[in-house]
Amino acid sequence: MSTATRLAARALIRLSGEDVAGFLQGLVTNDTGVLAEGHPIWAGLLTAQGKAQWDFLLWPDGADVLVDCEATQADALAKRLSMYRLRRPITIARDDTLAVHWRPDPVDAGDMASFADPRLPGLGCRWLAPPVGVDTADLAWRAWRLGHGVPEGVDELGTDKTLWLETNAIELHGVSFTKGCYVGQENTARMNWRQKVNRRLVVCELEADPQEAARIWYPDLGLAVAPVRVEQLRGGEPVKLGAVEARPIVPEWLAHAITEEQPA
């Protein structure tokens, strides 16, 4: 694999000012109270109905918080966060002095600069550093991430299409049920209490374009990301995405979860 590490498809938004972690606590799905230096968390900003709008990682940087998000969505996300800010003395702006870096290897015990992806240890490690060099690792990262069955971003999660728990947010450590209120919290908590996550967003292997049956299709990888009903995932059999036969990737971390659910 290439030695390139920079993820050019990611950008950073810096929040600085008065209690930015507390500001985010009332907005995002995860508990910003557990943020610790060098240990990011994965979270989402939802609609009032509990559907995903954006997902991102949050990094503490002293009193500031950095939002590790899709570069194509950074301006829209910053604008939305600024709307929620109201009169709080908080600055929200892109930070181009740093970039997100990734490699597939696990964290080395002697490496104090990189940290395990908070969603899944198998995703490798990330760190923030200046955006040096022209080579990027975006294509390698996408293939690695999808190979582990993990979707992310508006193209894969959809915008206002997928309920947060359908993105596997519990299994990927992207939601807290003890932190209190946030946007979309009521429906998310109700789904968890009732154990009614009837669909899951999964990566599927297939050989043709599934059209509207998938969120997105990557023909170069032979993979698509699509919502599939839980009962169809339990048997390990191919499923139909529109007119196309597909083979869902159900990693161990997801297989354990879907055996316990009781779809309607």
Domain shared by 188 and 225, yes or no = yes
Domain shared by 112 and 184, yes or no = no
Question: Hey, what amino acid is at 37?
Answer: E
Taking only the tens of pLDDT, the chain with its 264 residues reads 458 899 999 999 999 999 999 999 999 999 999 998 878 999 999 999 999 999 999 999 999 999 999 999 999 999 999 999 988 999 999 999 999 999 998 887 666 688 999 999 999 999 999 998 778 999 999 999 999 999 999 999 999 999 999 999 999 999 999 999 999 999 999 999 988 899 999 999 999 999 999 999 999 999 999 999 999 998 889 999 999 999 999 999 999 888 865 444
Domain shared by 123 and 28, yes or no = yes
Domain shared by 192 and 98, yes or no = no
**Burial state string for 163-173 with b = 16 or more CB within 10 A and e = fewer than 16:** bbbbbbbbbbb
Residue 68 CB partners (closer than 8 Å, separation 6+): 10, 12, 40, 56, 57, 58, 59, 100, 126, 128
Whether residue 142 is contained in a domain is answered as no
Domain shared by 160 and 49, yes or no = no
Neighbour tally for 198: CB within 10 Å: 16
Q: What is the pLDDT of residue 1?
A: 43
Domain shared by 67 and 168, yes or no = no
Domain shared by 133 and 228, yes or no = no
Whether residue 1 is contained in a domain is answered as no
Which pair of tokens denotes residue 158? 């959809």
Q: What is the pLDDT of residue 259?
A: 82
Question: What CATH number is associated with residue 162?
Answer: 2.40.30.160
Asked if residue 173 lies in contact with residue 234, where contact means CB atoms within 8 angstroms, the answer is: no
The answer, as to whether pTM is greater than 0.85, is: yes
Q: What is the pLDDT of residue 109?
A: 61
Q: What is the C-alpha separation between 230 and 174, in angstroms, rounded?
A: 20
Total domains in the fold of the chain: 2
Whether residue 183 is contained in a domain is answered as yes
Whether residue 264 is contained in a domain is answered as no
Query: Of the candidates 81, 106, 137, which is a domain's last residue?
Result: 137
Domain shared by 101 and 129, yes or no = yes
Whether residue 217 is contained in a domain is answered as yes
Domain shared by 200 and 237, yes or no = yes
Asked if residue 59 lies in contact with residue 40, where contact means CB atoms within 8 angstroms, the answer is: yes
Q: What is the C-alpha separation between 54 and 165, in angstroms, rounded?
A: 14
Whether residue 235 is contained in a domain is answered as yes
Residue 241 structural domain: 153-258
User: Terminal CA-to-CA distance of the chain, rounded, Å?
Assistant: 44
